[in-house]
Amino acid sequence: MQMSRKIAGFLVGVAAFMIFEWINLGFNLADGHPTSFYVVHGVLVAVNILLALVIGTIGVRGLRGPGGPRGSSDPRALHGPAEGVQRPKV
């Protein structure tokens, strides 16, 4: 399924915002909390940055458009040569 450029751009924007926001939160954690606080927030930061990278990758692929045989409008690109067409023997 092909997504619109608006949606792809939105996904890239959300991913950039998520990365900025979670890295900023990671640097702004104040000292003086128990170790478990930092572990939990570290896991949250790591998981959300990973999600942002996945969302950003999907968005960038959507902006680049269809590529390769999947995006081709030529039905022969997916199924090979039409029936009855013989390939040369090598």
Q: Report which residue type is found at 81.
A: P
- The maximal CA–CA distance of the chain, rounded, in angstroms, is 76
Q: Which of 50, 51, 29 is nearest to 40 (CA)?
A: 29
- Non-local (6+) Cβ contacts of 37 within 8 A are 29
Hey, how many other C-beta atoms are within 10 angstroms of the C-beta on 52? 21
**Rounded to two decimals, what is the model's pTM?**
0.67
Q: What is the pLDDT of residue 16?
A: 97
- What are the pLDDT digits (tens) for 31-89? 888 999 999 999 999 999 999 999 999 999 999 887 644 555 555 555 555 566 676 77
- What are the pLDDT digits (tens) for 7-44? 999 999 999 999 999 999 988 888 888 999 999 999 99
How far apart are the C-alpha atoms of 50 and 42, rounded to whole Å?
12
Residue 1 pLDDT level (bands cut at 50, 70, 90): low
How far apart are the C-alpha atoms of 16 and 50, rounded to whole Å?
12
